[in-house]
Structure 1
Amino acid sequence: MIYVDDRRTGNHGIARFAREVLSRLPARVSGPVRRLPVHGSASTPLDCLRPGRLRATSRDLVVSPGPNAGLSRAPQLVTLHDLIHLDTGSRLKREYYERVLRPAIARAGRVLTVSDASREAIESWLGPAAARVRVDVVGNGCSSAFTRDGEVERFTRPTLALVSNAKVHKNVEVVFRALARCPELGMVVVGPAPATMAGFAASAGVTDRVEIRHDVPDIQLARLYRGSAALVMPSTLEGFGLPVLEAMSCGTRAVYWEGCAPVAEIAAGSGVAVTGSTDDREWAEAMDKAVRGEPLHLPGTWAGRYDWDRVGDRFARAVRKLA
């Protein structure tokens, strides 16, 4: 029996990944696929103590599209998108990674991730166990809403898009300071921390040029990307960089920090790279360059690298190896 943890929902990155790969899984594996009988938030480290995983036996397999493992007799195939929690998470989360997640990965002998940069980080983190664990890069896809064709949001001035939360590694404050240097530009912020974002805008003196939105569906987000002069992605740590993929698929160039390897993996050669992650003057210059640049042209093979069917195939292949 294959049990899947389908609790990741919404419009954020892991939820999109979960929705796309789990919906494709039953058609790509033999035998029954059932929902894991675990309830409650999948984001708390204490999720590992929920008893529902004990329903599975040693002959079953528990599959998670996120970094969720716990008490179970069954092997657990998890998707570890990144190791950001080891740098920015609470002590409890770090303990979960070390005492629960790493042993579960070692027992399964396989773990999934979404980028080459994350694979390298995971192999280093596994230490001696890396020799016994296969780290499969299944990649990430771009949902069908994100194309060049479709409705375009109209703005009265050149407008940037910032799609992010306000966590420290997202590095968003520098963008507001840079915007203060570009009085002709506006910005639309999409994310789950409107009060914090509003505070950054007020501190930079750009409140009148910043609009903040929350929980935006894909169709509306694609409309925003198409109408934006550029996407700004200031993250210093990422597992993948989904907003860059989505924006570029809609024909919009990205401004990003060159030291964030997963983002650079997607945008290199087509975006505008910044060398100093906290240098608001350089960010302002890069934003201006992106706004004034030529239309974005992507190689013909670019989109094929981020096809959800291919991601679903790779995900299912790993499941079949362990099931």
Structure 2
Amino acid sequence: MKIGIVLHPYDEDKPAGLARTIYEWTKALLETDTENSYVIFVKKKPRKQPEFSGSHWKLEELGGGMLWLDNLKNKTPCDVYLFNTPVLPLFFRPKKSVVLALDFAYYYLAPKTIKGQMVKWITFIYHGLSLKRADKVVAISQATKEDTIKLFGTPEEKIDVSYLGFKKICESQEISVEAPTPFFFFAGIIKERKNVFNIVKGFEHFSKEQEGYYLLIGGNPSGVYYETLKKYIEKHDLEENIIFLGHLNDGQLSYLYKRALAFVFPTLIEGFGMPVVEAMDCGVPVITSNVSSLKEVGANGSALLVDPYDPEAIARAMGQVARDQNLRGSLIKKGALQVKNFSWEKAAREMLVVLNEVHTK
């Protein structure tokens, strides 16, 4: 079987969740499956070749333009194509296709501007068309599967669930970061969907009860959301205890995860929530949301689950972790057990089953 994988986005300066997900899944597939051959399709010539193992794959460039995916018709034909978002070519119909469904945050959290709403509905229509045309859909959580059924009417039997793997961040060599202790830690993009405002408000509530703690925020500090957040912090005299660290590499993340009092990640919507699993693997207690996929990833008592829309609930969870050593120990122990449910090898083997099923149907 010849399998085509559309690796996009790729070769970004600071790859975010989507880019990391599709790269690691592709890497694991090539390591796990040496019987089939692969064609890795990228949009443009990368500055750096992917570091994939084996000689059973090759890289092909599709070129740019609005309809760049339709250039697949002029490239090496494949038996099955894997698209890493629900976006299929408009005019080229792949022989067989599988699409990944990660999350639909754009639908729930689209800006209320005319442009924001236009982008939302164009994306929604395109996703709906692609999901209908695809032979199979792989959702990265039960929550995403339920959203796919609810929003697009995709038949339940057409969707398989396969959880993501994660990178063992704390195996990276530590790079020291100036970090006052004790501190709560958040890492991610500083945008509305990550709910950083309510984390800050939760910490503000917590600080009224417990002095001498800090909140460290990792992520690129820029944009309107960040500026609004910064003004709130200044207005409420929180600058000394809330510190923005900027973008963090793996070594810096390793250093901070290992020293944090808790990792605080009560985001509004996640397809999976990879940072939660990374933190658990590092042995740090986790506070996360009781909505979307996070209640799955943080199940079995492995995390404190809170209402992400309630800053006081976030504050109470911070207080529990700060005061209760037994709770901290329990969260660390159960988190270490929970992460055993997730690996890229497992995700790759499950994807291979789906690809074989679609190919032989």
Q: Which residue of 2 aligns with 1:43?
A: none
In structure 2, distance between residues paired with 1:315 and 1:214: 35
Change (3 A) 1:191 1:76: farther
Q: Which residue of 2 aligns with 1:79?
A: 100
8 Å Cα contact 1:198-1:212 kept in structure 2: no
Out of 36, 48, 52, the residue aligned to residue 71 of structure 2 is 52
What amino acid is the match of 1:212?
F
The 3-state SS of whatever aligns with 1:192 is coil
In structure 2, distance between residues paired with 1:91 and 1:30: 45
1:130 aligns with 2:150: no
What amino acid is the match of 1:262?
S
Q: Which residue of 1 aligns with 2:21?
A: 17
Change (3 A) 1:220 1:169: same
What amino acid is the match of 1:88?
L
8 Å Cα contact 1:77-1:110 kept in structure 2: yes
1:107 aligns with 2:138: no
What amino acid is the match of 1:103?
L
Change (3 A) 1:309 1:59: closer
Q: Which residue of 2 aligns with 1:119?
A: 145
What amino acid is the match of 1:157?
T
Q: Which moved more, 1:1-10 or 1:146-155?
A: 146-155
The 3-state SS of whatever aligns with 1:261 is coil
- Counterparts of residues 253-292 of structure 1 (less than 5 Å): 253-258=285-290, 260-268=291-299, 269-275=301-307, 277-292=308-323
RMSD: 3.0
**What is the number of residues matched between the two proteins?**
315
Return the offset for 1:57: 7.8
Return the offset for 1:130: 1.1
The 3-state SS of whatever aligns with 1:208 is coil
In structure 2, distance between residues paired with 1:278 and 1:145: 29
- CA deviation map 1:245-269 (0-9, x unaligned): 11111111122232x1311212231
Return the offset for 1:154: 7.4
In structure 2, distance between residues paired with 1:92 and 1:174: 28
In structure 1, distance between residues paired with 2:286 and 2:26: 29
The unaligned stretches of length 5 or more in structure 2 are: 46-64, 111-115
Larger radius of gyration: 2
In structure 2, distance between residues paired with 1:109 and 1:166: 36
Return the offset for 1:143: 1.1
The unaligned stretches of length 5 or more in structure 1 are: 41-45
Q: Which residue of 1 aligns with 2:244?
A: 212
Return the offset for 1:172: 1.4
What amino acid is the match of 2:246?
H
The 3-state SS of whatever aligns with 2:43 is coil
- CA deviation map 1:114-133 (0-9, x unaligned): 11111111122231x416x5
In structure 2, distance between residues paired with 1:59 and 1:299: 41
What amino acid is the match of 2:99?
V
